[in-house]
Structure 1
């Protein structure tokens, strides 16, 4: 009899343990994520933003144990993809890149969403290296040459950019204001077309992110200035606008978010996964390739940053008369 009691107890514990595992099984099966996640990239495939986002999604997918499938929904300076993200179901299975320009275009009426209310923020990832470039045979050998020419011929020096209201357009107008000059802006549908316009000799100056980099290294373009806080490692011989006395810094950092209302526990998993992805060697390899400075912020700090930029954009929109330009 004394032996029976331990046996019964062991049997009872074993039975209860099996029951507990059986109960836990469905809970584990229902744990998020249980299917692939869709990532909306608001830019064309193959561009610098697309390259960096794909690298992040590959690493973050491994961390989460599910693939993250990138869908390119380009158009309207990134706002088509941003609107699709804001309108998606808030279940954690749709995430995407949020261009910082949402803070401007929402106020200009190009985005039917409010970046202060309609997104859940996951991470700020990296910035971009913008610059002013000219053809190798251009008479503008320095930025001062360009400024002098623009002062001598107001409104006649032309520059190509990737779209009215975008970072390259606004950045150049900020620079022109700081330099006391008037330039003639020529909008294109994207950076690739703007680059082609300058290489083809149709426009004097290119204002773009690092699409110019391989052409500068090949000797086809001359880089006059970059727009970041510091010189990019590959172009250490080129000064920044700030170094040249113009207090203009444009880096337009990329970020990742989801629709508003995602479960906080799911959002925490996404934040942790993309935190690891930003710190990964895979992401560093891409950012080094495209001269993109890593500018990581966790979700809550990223949200604060977006709100700060929104307020700054309100002032800039009025200063540059962007509403009038958009109507034109």
Structure 2
């Protein structure tokens, strides 16, 4: 004969079932990571960001004790990969992504099904780009002023490529065009590697991008007409900045690493600590020097605070350039 089950026992079991996941979460977080981690790089393989983050991930994996697999997912100006992660990946720390500045701009330009602040867990800020404007070595444009004058003569006919609509290389050129009163023909590409091949092949007359052009400039295949930093670069000191030429257009376009919203703080801290150590590694510093990039370390809290402020600031920029969604 079965004994009756008391109401107290049933309620106690139900409560335990609800509480159990929260009780075991810290133990699960302490065991992180127990398998490989995927790092989404939202640009094609071979570009400057891919070169940088592959090295950083390789170093960080030694501190985590697990491999970090780079997954290149280009598209939508660098927002496709992180946006897809936010919607589909579990917040367990095993899928993270680079967070390019375009993530804080695209929602102002078109409707997105993710929010750049609310749908992400911010891990740490890492670095920023040196942007420049290049043409092929045999281009008729010997200086940036030559390019501007050509655009004055043929409004809307003189083209340039960038790594995508809404990216910093695109908006920097649109700021310059607005400042001097010219109209350019913008051609977006999926990433640095595709853009550089288009410039080399003569499919576009110029390219606005981060230092993925460095090897081509140093090899004499491309000519660097200007850069967009606060100061001239150490590597190409003879090349003027946009500010040198009278354009008050400066950008570093900082980026970092994020995961889906709702990540356990202990997991975020583990990832933060491993990548922070990797950032200080001499091999990583060497790659940054090759790409003419600076460290831009921000801890998780400061990185999120920066993103909140920048999201609002860039809304004003996009509205001023007439690129806001209608």
Query: Taking structure 1 as the reference length, what is the TM-score of the superposition?
Result: 0.83
Is contact 1:41-1:73 (8 Å) kept? yes
1:12 maps to none
Aligned-pair CA distance for 1:30: 5.9
1:217 maps to 218
2:22 maps to none
Aligned-pair CA distance for 1:323: 4.4
1:242 maps to 243
Is contact 2:74-2:191 (8 Å) kept? no
1:173 maps to 174
1:256 maps to 257
Distance 1:194 1:278 in 2: 28
1:307 maps to 308
1:97 maps to 98
2:118 maps to 117
Q: In structure 2, do the counterparts of structure 1 residues 203 and 294 end up closer, same or farther at CA, with 3 Å as the change threshold? A: same
Alignment of 1:103-252 (within 5 A): 103-109=104-110, 111-252=112-253
**1:245-296 per-position Cα deviation (integer Å, ceiling 9, x unaligned):** 2111122222101111111122122212111111111211222222222222
Distance 2:54 2:291 in 1: 14
- SS of the aligned residue for 1:123 comes to strand
- SS of the aligned residue for 2:117 comes to coil
Q: Does 1:37 align with 2:37?
A: yes
Distance 1:196 1:91 in 2: 38
2:66 maps to 66
- SS of the aligned residue for 1:101 comes to helix
Q: In structure 2, do the counterparts of structure 1 residues 304 and 129 end up closer, same or farther at CA, with 3 Å as the change threshold? A: same
Distance 1:166 1:28 in 2: 38
Is contact 1:226-1:238 (8 Å) kept? yes
Distance 2:124 2:30 in 1: 26
Stretches of structure 1 that go unaligned for 5 or more consecutive residues are 1-26
1:4 maps to none
Distance 2:29 2:76 in 1: 40
Q: Does 1:76 align with 2:61?
A: no
Q: In structure 2, do the counterparts of structure 1 residues 196 and 43 end up closer, same or farther at CA, with 3 Å as the change threshold? A: closer
Aligned-pair CA distance for 1:140: 2.3
Q: In structure 2, do the counterparts of structure 1 residues 251 and 267 end up closer, same or farther at CA, with 3 Å as the change threshold? A: same
Q: In structure 2, do the counterparts of structure 1 residues 32 and 211 end up closer, same or farther at CA, with 3 Å as the change threshold? A: closer
1:321 maps to 322
1:271 maps to 272
Distance 1:163 1:320 in 2: 16
Distance 1:43 1:229 in 2: 25
Q: In structure 2, do the counterparts of structure 1 residues 269 and 139 end up closer, same or farther at CA, with 3 Å as the change threshold? A: same
Aligned-pair CA distance for 1:114: 0.8
**1:150-182 per-position Cα deviation (integer Å, ceiling 9, x unaligned):** 334433322222322222221110111122322
Distance 2:48 2:143 in 1: 27
Aligned-pair CA distance for 1:117: 0.8
Stretches of structure 2 that go unaligned for 5 or more consecutive residues are 1-26
Distance 2:188 2:72 in 1: 22
- SS of the aligned residue for 1:295 comes to strand
Distance 1:117 1:266 in 2: 18
Aligned-pair CA distance for 1:29: 11
Q: In structure 2, do the counterparts of structure 1 residues 177 and 86 end up closer, same or farther at CA, with 3 Å as the change threshold? A: same
Is contact 2:47-2:192 (8 Å) kept? no
Query: Taking structure 2 as the reference length, what is the TM-score of the superposition?
Result: 0.83
Q: In structure 2, do the counterparts of structure 1 residues 71 and 157 end up closer, same or farther at CA, with 3 Å as the change threshold? A: closer
